[in-house]
């Protein structure tokens, strides 16, 4: 059976020492993929999924199958965390007597927004152009999943960790989330890519308070690196296994097209919400989808600002490119974006005249 056809709860041996587990997700069936590294008395797990009773039952079955190989404290790693929903990683690490970790950038970004009050979150979405009633609805539940984060271990960029019989190195690939990480199995040509690239859908790329200032730029740089290195196998968190280089190219062209569409709307200055409404049909979407649409719109507009394709306006006046959006005064109305003095999205798929250093290639891509 193809990967996309395997039911949740299925355990498949991909090779000696590596299993793939289908983890159920009641909100997004059929679920997600987790990867289990089984070595001599050591265990490692990547992306164990969202917490739910069904997911816990699956992991209880996996633990029973692993048996004595959990004698050494296992390591549980996540490529990324979605703040709306809790990861099962903390529960699993406690159950196994081990530790769990996520990228340091993810940890810091989640803690940053996690300290905001409800009023702060409503004000943020008001700054993007939502009316007060809609802003309250969209802000509700935004950080509901940021629980147990204090028990997580921040993973430093480039750290090599033992996972079963393998050694894995982390590579920071922000965009889908502020601290999205890819893990590379050293010497095997295998990349565990989370939601960096997916075979049948386009991952959301959002600007998030506390995250990178140019998440789309970093994401596009990561796609170009993936296309250039073309690892032998990539294992995603969802769906079938994609072919690295063609998938990266498809996503580069997708974002070039989306950027061109958004720039075409800036014939007059518009709020983030106005652009998102025109591109995504914002008002017809759920609160969670509205958050993603606003974040993706903002990521593209900020990318354009940093390359001269757009200008950011507050109170009708341009703001310095280097200003963090969270620090701008909140009493001058919503942010608006207009056309900039130069630059076009034509080269987005091929190159970037302002690449972001945080998306540099991993030192050992394992080919």
Which three-class secondary structure string do you get for the chain?
Answer: CCHHHCCCCCEEEEECCEEEEEECCCCCCCCEEEEEEEECCEEEEECCCECCHHHHHHHHHHHHHHHHHHCCCCEEECCCCCCCCCECHHHHHHHHCCEEEEEHHHHHHHHHHHCCCHHHHHHHHHHCCCCHHHHHHHHCCCCCCCCCHHHCEEECCCCEEEECCEEEEEEECCCCCCCCEEEEECCCCEEEEECCCCCCCCCCCCCCCCCCCCHHHHHHHHHHHHHHHCCCEEEECCCCCCCHHHHHHHHHHHHHHHHHHHHHCCCCCECHHHHHHHHHCHHHCCHHHHHHHHHHHHHHHHHHHHCCCEEEEECCEECCCCCCHHHCCCCCCCEEEEECCCCCHHHCCCCCCCCCHHHCCCCCCCC
The structure tokens 């354009």 sit at: 304
- What pLDDT band is residue 1 in, cutting at 50, 70 and 90? very low
Contact (CB, 8 A) for 144 and 85: yes
User: Does residue 62 sit in the same domain as residue 106?
Assistant: yes
Position 274 in a domain: yes
Position 367 in a domain: no
Q: What global pTM score does this model have?
A: 0.90
Position 357 in a domain: no
A 10 A CB-CB count for 291 gives 22
Position 250 in a domain: yes
Domain that holds residue 114: 3-256
- Domain stop point among 238, 256, 274: 256
Q: Using CA atoms, how far apart are residues 352 and 356, in angstroms rounded to an integer?
A: 9
* 5 token code pair: 């056809």
Q: Is the bond into 30 cis (omega within 30 degrees of 0)? A: yes
Q: Which of 93-97, 122-126, 218-222, 340-344 has the lowest mean pLDDT?
A: 340-344
Task: Give backbone dihedrals phi and psi of 212, rounded to 5 degrees, phi first.
Answer: -60, 150
- The pLDDT of 35-58, averaged and rounded, is 91
Number of structural domains found in the chain: 2
C-alpha to C-alpha distances, 246 to 97, 99, 172, 223, 364, nearest whole angstrom: 41, 36, 21, 10, 21
Residues 47-68: tens digit of each pLDDT: 999 999 999 999 999 988 886 5
- What pLDDT band is residue 359 in, cutting at 50, 70 and 90? very low
The structure tokens 């950080």 sit at: 143
At 85 the pLDDT is: 78
User: Does residue 30 sit in the same domain as residue 132?
Assistant: yes
Position 337 in a domain: yes
Position 241 in a domain: yes
The angle at the Cα of 171, spanning 169 to 172, to the nearest 5 degrees, equals: 145
Q: What CATH number did the domain enclosing 221 receive?
A: 3.60.15.10
Residues 218-250: tens digit of each pLDDT: 999 999 999 999 999 999 998 888 899 999 999
Q: Is the dihedral of CA 358, 363, 366, 367 positive or negative?
A: positive
Q: Using CA atoms, how far apart are residues 306 and 217, in angstroms rounded to an integer?
A: 9
- Domain stop point among 256, 290, 320: 256
User: Does residue 85 sit in the same domain as residue 104?
Assistant: yes
Contact (CB, 8 A) for 214 and 349: no
Q: Is the pLDDT of residue 365 over 70?
A: no
User: Does residue 271 sit in the same domain as residue 251?
Assistant: no
User: Strand order of the sheet with strand 310-314?
Assistant: 317-318, 310-314, 335-339
- Domain stop point among 190, 221, 256: 256
Position 37 in a domain: yes
User: Does residue 325 sit in the same domain as residue 239?
Assistant: no
> pLDDT averaged over the chain?
86
Q: Is the pLDDT of residue 367 over 50?
A: no
User: Does residue 223 sit in the same domain as residue 264?
Assistant: no
Position 362 in a domain: no
Q: Higher confidence at residue 222 or residue 159?
A: 222
Residues 66-121: tens digit of each pLDDT: 865 555 678 899 999 887 777 899 899 888 888 888 888 888 888 777 788 889 99
User: Does residue 119 sit in the same domain as residue 23?
Assistant: yes
Q: Using CA atoms, how far apart are residues 299 and 356, in angstroms rounded to an integer?
A: 14
At 2 the pLDDT is: 45
User: Does residue 15 sit in the same domain as residue 149?
Assistant: yes
Nearest partner of 196 among 213, 218, 214, judged by Cα: 218
- What pLDDT band is residue 363 in, cutting at 50, 70 and 90? very low
Q: What CATH number did the domain enclosing 328 receive?
A: 1.10.10.10
User: Does residue 302 sit in the same domain as residue 228?
Assistant: no
Residue 316: strand pairing partners: none
Task: Give backbone dihedrals phi and psi of 297, rounded to 5 degrees, phi first.
Answer: -60, -45
User: Does residue 244 sit in the same domain as residue 307?
Assistant: no
User: Does residue 99 sit in the same domain as residue 231?
Assistant: yes
Nearest partner of 79 among 209, 162, 186, 195, judged by Cα: 195
**Distance from chain centroid for Cα 27:** 18
User: Does residue 315 sit in the same domain as residue 214?
Assistant: no
């Amino acid at each position: 059976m193809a990967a996309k056809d395997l039911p949740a709860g299925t355990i498949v041996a991909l090779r000696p020492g590596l299993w793939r587990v289908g983890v159920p997700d009641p909100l997004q069936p059929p679920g997600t993929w987790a990867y289990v590294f089984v070595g001599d008395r050591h265990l490692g797990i990547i992306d164990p999924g969202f917490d739910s009773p069904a997911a816990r039952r699956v992991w209880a079955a996996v633990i029973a199958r692993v048996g004595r190989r959990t004698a050494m404290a296992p390591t549980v790693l996540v490529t990324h965390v979605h703040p709306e929903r809790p990861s099962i990683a903390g529960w699993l690490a406690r159950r196994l007597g081990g530790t769990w970790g996520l990228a340091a950038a993810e940890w810091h970004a989640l803690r940053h927004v996690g300290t905001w009050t409800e009023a702060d979150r409503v004000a943020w979405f008001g700054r993007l152009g939502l009316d007060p009633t809609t802003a309250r609805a969209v802000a509700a539940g935004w950080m509901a999943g940021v629980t147990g984060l204090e028990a997580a271990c921040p993973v430093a960029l480039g750290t090599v960790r033992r996972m079963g019989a393998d050694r894995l190195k982390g590579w920071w690939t922000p965009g889908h989330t502020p601290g999205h990480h890819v893990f590379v199995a050293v010497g095997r040509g295998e990349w565990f890519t989370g939601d960096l690239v997916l075979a049948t859908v386009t991952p959301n790329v959002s600007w998030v308070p506390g995250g990178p200032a140019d998440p789309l730029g970093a994401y596009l740089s990561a796609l170009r690196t993936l296309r250039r290195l073309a690892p032998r196998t990539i294992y995603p968190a969802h769906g079938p296994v994609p072919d690295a280089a063609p998938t990266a190219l498809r996503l580069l062209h997708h974002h070039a097209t989306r950027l061109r569409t958004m720039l075409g709307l800036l014939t007059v200055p518009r709020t983030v919400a106005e652009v998102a409404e025109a591109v995504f049909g914002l008002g017809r979407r759920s609160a969670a989808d509205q958050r993603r649409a606003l974040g993706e719109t903002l990521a593209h507009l900020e990318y354009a600002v940093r390359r001269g394709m757009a200008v950011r306006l507050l109170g009708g006046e341009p703001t310095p490119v280097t200003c963090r959006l969270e620090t701008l005064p909140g009493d001058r109305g919503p942010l608006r974006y207009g056309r900039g003095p130069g630059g076009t999205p034509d080269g987005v798929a091929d190159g970037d005249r302002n690449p972001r250093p945080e998306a540099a290639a991993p030192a050992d891509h394992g080919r």
